[in-house]
Amino acid sequence: MRIEHRTNAAEQGVTAAYNLLHPEARRPFAPMPYFWSDQYDMKVQAFGHLRGHDEIVVVEGEMSERRFLAIYRTGDRLAGALAVGMPPKVMRPWRQAIAMGTSWHEAIRAWAWATDADAKEIAHGEPSF
């Protein structure tokens, strides 16, 4: 995947420096795609892979109000998150979970615990939005 973002150059440098200093433990350069944009009065943020998913669940806000956070499942993994009209801080825990390769069920359980939501139906893959 081609990622053209100003931070991509910095991330490449960090990986190159690490690999130079630790040749016995080299890491491939595999950045997680993300973007953000301010579209007039609306902030749009995305992290992870939002294509080829199996399910999308709105975990905060309402799409009809143009203010929501949706998470994406591919297989048994949390693959991406999309926030529209939300403050940047709502993405932080999801970014970390996606980068760590968190399973879908773990992500749903953590969300339910943090929000006191009943995620039983979602965790079993029944409803989405």
Q: What is the pTM of this model?
A: 0.75
Calpha distance 107→73 (Å, rounded): 10
Burial per residue of 80-116, b for 16 or more beta-carbon CB atoms within 10 angstroms, e otherwise = bbbbbbbeeebbeebbebbeeebebbbbbebbbeeee
- Summarised one tens digit per residue, pLDDT across range 86-98 is 998 999 999 999 9
The per-residue pLDDT for range 40-91, each reduced to its tens digit, is 888 999 999 998 899 999 999 999 999 999 999 999 999 999 999 999 899 9
Tell me the pLDDT band of 12, cut-offs 50, 70 and 90.
confident
